[in-house]
Amino acid sequence: MTVVTAQPEPSVPSADAVPGQATAEAEEFWVEPGSSDGEVTAVDTSDGRPAVELPGQSPAADAPLGTARDDAHPHAAEAPQGAGADAAAVPDDVPGEVVRDARDFGAYVRAGGWAFALKVARSVRPGGEAAGDTAKVSAKAFAELAGCSPERVMRYYKAWDKASDDGLVPYFEALAPGQDVELPDSDVWHTYYTSRSSAGSERGTAIAAAAEAEGIRPTKALEVAENPTALRAAILADPSTAQAARVALLDRLQEDPVLQTGLARDIARTEDLKKAVAAETQAASRIGYVRQIVENGQVKTPAGQTIDAPAELRAEAERHLSLIDELDEGEETGEWASDAYDSVKDLVAQTIQANPELRLQERRTKFYSSLQKATKVFEELTFDDVDDLDTIYEDDMLQRLEELQEAITTCITALRKAAPGE
């Protein structure tokens, strides 16, 4: 698309009328069409206003855009051919000034941000070029003429500079005031332009890169990052925003140890969260128990031995697991997990009772496990400070140890009787 604009006027539209200012909403208006059907060419007019020549319109139309061309309708402008049904006719009662403003607006909409960047690129003096060597002016002087800040002008300047480095547009030195060039598609404008000064910082660069990876404009993410209070308000008021924040935090936890520690500390210090975590942990453990049966075909008995799961047990586990997997993401799983676990556990007990050999092995495993635990606990009792036992002595200590000794003696006697050859 070629956009031809007038020579820089002594005064250009105010900052409020220029797209690309700090709000991202304003930027969304300045979109260039993706096809050549609506190609826009702005031309100089007698009153210094930009006019629009669309395909099919007579090139001899040299009056300002929107000027009456039909003697029968002094306040109506001739509808440009190929502009679409909405612009095909102008009502008689619409003033010519309104039509001209609408056509000017449409021209800039179709041209996109590149049309404004071109005005800056061909009128603002690049760095290192002396004032006497060119007819261009400084960014400050251009901003004063435009009625906006130099920072705003420089954002357009930098966008053009980046695009020139990529070969999309000519370098500043190759442009003269009033010169027209072929402009890139408006689709790539926001790749080079940012309306927020924070985007230049290391933090802003990281946010912009993350926004592009998510398929959104960097300006939107930067606006949110610059106003944490607004983000907090949205999270507190809107469940869907809170859900998006939760998912984002979980993704960040994988690579942010500091955030992991901070979140864990917050949970540990909040009683309700501690209970919720404990409940979810139990539910996840029970679901894992059921899933193990389905995926591996094995089950762990109460005594701790691993056995092959019978077909009936696997079928029941698979049925419960399918119900759990069909739950919505936000639906509670605790009750479903408990039902699945209890049902499977009952079938495991029935399987053990129905098999004498398996039942005997379960008893043996359970006894040995208890013996190991008791041994470990007793070994932890230390008598290194025998001389000081009188300081910790309690009557029931001796009583409990004597009872334990009797129980151990009874157990040893029973085991000796059961030993082979006795």
Provide the pLDDT for residue 171.
Answer: 92
Structure tokens, 45: 């007019």
The verdict on 297 and 404 lying in the same domain is no
Domain-terminating residue out of 248, 268, 288: 268
**256 pLDDT exceeds 80?**
yes
For residue range 341-362, list pLDDT tens digits in order.
999 989 888 888 888 888 888 8
Taking CB atoms within 8 Å and a gap of at least 24, the contacts of 163-167 are 163/117, 163/188, 163/192
State what percent of residues in the chain have pLDDT above 90: 14
Q: φ, ψ for residue 174 (rounded to 5)?
A: -85, 0
- Greater confidence (28 vs 109) lies with 109
pTM > 0.85: no
Instruction: State the burial class of residue 353 (Cβ atoms within 10 Å of its Cβ: 0-12, 13-18, 19+).
Output: exposed
Residue 54 CA to residue 32 CA, distance in Å, equals 14
Provide the pLDDT for residue 290.
Answer: 92
**Domain membership flag for residue 141:** yes
Is-contact 344 317, C-beta < 8 A? yes
Classify the C-alpha dihedral 352-358-360-365 as positive or negative.
Answer: negative
Residue 341 CA to residue 321 CA, distance in Å, equals 10
Highest mean pLDDT among 3-7, 69-73, 85-89: 85-89
Provide the pLDDT for residue 123.
Answer: 93
> Of 6, 13, 112, whose CA–CA distance to 50 is shortest?
6
Is-contact 217 190, C-beta < 8 A? yes
Least confident of 76-90, 268-282, 384-398: 76-90
Q: Is 21 helix (H, G, I), strand (E, B) or coil?
A: coil
- Count Cα atoms within 13 angstroms, Cβ side, for 25: 1
The verdict on 282 and 335 lying in the same domain is yes
**Domain membership flag for residue 363:** no
> Of 63, 173, 177, 196, whose CA–CA distance to 126 is shortest?
173
The confidence band for 371, taking pLDDT boundaries of 50, 70 and 90, is confident
The verdict on 235 and 319 lying in the same domain is no
Q: How many domains does the chain have?
A: 4
**392 pLDDT exceeds 70?**
yes
**32 pLDDT exceeds 70?**
no
259: containing domain: 197-268
Provide the pLDDT for residue 111.
Answer: 57
The confidence band for 270, taking pLDDT boundaries of 50, 70 and 90, is very high
**Domain membership flag for residue 9:** no
Is-contact 113 159, C-beta < 8 A? yes
**Domain membership flag for residue 107:** yes
The verdict on 261 and 275 lying in the same domain is no
Provide the pLDDT for residue 367.
Answer: 87
> Of 211, 177, 214, whose CA–CA distance to 194 is shortest?
211
The verdict on 282 and 141 lying in the same domain is no
Is-contact 160 123, C-beta < 8 A? no
Indicate the DSSP class of residue 124.
B
**Domain membership flag for residue 372:** no
The verdict on 76 and 171 lying in the same domain is yes
Provide the pLDDT for residue 179.
Answer: 92
**Domain membership flag for residue 10:** no
Provide the pLDDT for residue 195.
Answer: 58
The set of residues, in sequence order, having a beta carbon less than 8 Å from that of 317 and lying 6+ positions away, is 290, 291, 293, 294, 309, 340, 344
The verdict on 83 and 174 lying in the same domain is yes
The confidence band for 287, taking pLDDT boundaries of 50, 70 and 90, is very high
Is-contact 163 192, C-beta < 8 A? yes
Residue 159 CA to residue 219 CA, distance in Å, equals 14
**41 pLDDT exceeds 60?**
no
Strand ranges for 283-404 from DSSP E: 298-300, 306-308
Give the mean model confidence (pLDDT) for residues 296-323. 88
Residue 110 CA to residue 87 CA, distance in Å, equals 14
For residue range 118-130, list pLDDT tens digits in order.
999 999 987 767 7
Q: Which amino acid is residue 231, in one-letter code?
A: L
For residue range 319-340, list pLDDT tens digits in order.
998 888 888 776 788 888 999 9
The confidence band for 66, taking pLDDT boundaries of 50, 70 and 90, is very low
The verdict on 210 and 261 lying in the same domain is yes
**191 pLDDT exceeds 80?**
no
**81 pLDDT exceeds 70?**
no
Residue 333 CA to residue 341 CA, distance in Å, equals 12
Q: Is 344 helix (H, G, I), strand (E, B) or coil?
A: helix
**299 pLDDT exceeds 80?**
yes
Residue 353 CA to residue 349 CA, distance in Å, equals 6
Least confident of 50-59, 191-200, 204-213, 355-364: 50-59
- Greater confidence (193 vs 251) lies with 251
Residue 406 CA to residue 226 CA, distance in Å, equals 74
The confidence band for 28, taking pLDDT boundaries of 50, 70 and 90, is very low
Provide the pLDDT for residue 205.
Answer: 75
The verdict on 121 and 165 lying in the same domain is yes
Least confident of 24-28, 166-170, 341-345: 24-28
Give the Å distances, CA to CA, from 101 to 54, 95, 148, 315, 358. 16, 10, 21, 73, 91
The verdict on 279 and 172 lying in the same domain is no
The verdict on 276 and 398 lying in the same domain is no
Q: Which amino acid is residue 188, in one-letter code?
A: V
The verdict on 66 and 151 lying in the same domain is yes
**Domain membership flag for residue 99:** yes
Cα of 47 vs its chain's centroid, Å: 49
- The mean pLDDT of the chain is 74
Residue 325 CA to residue 319 CA, distance in Å, equals 10
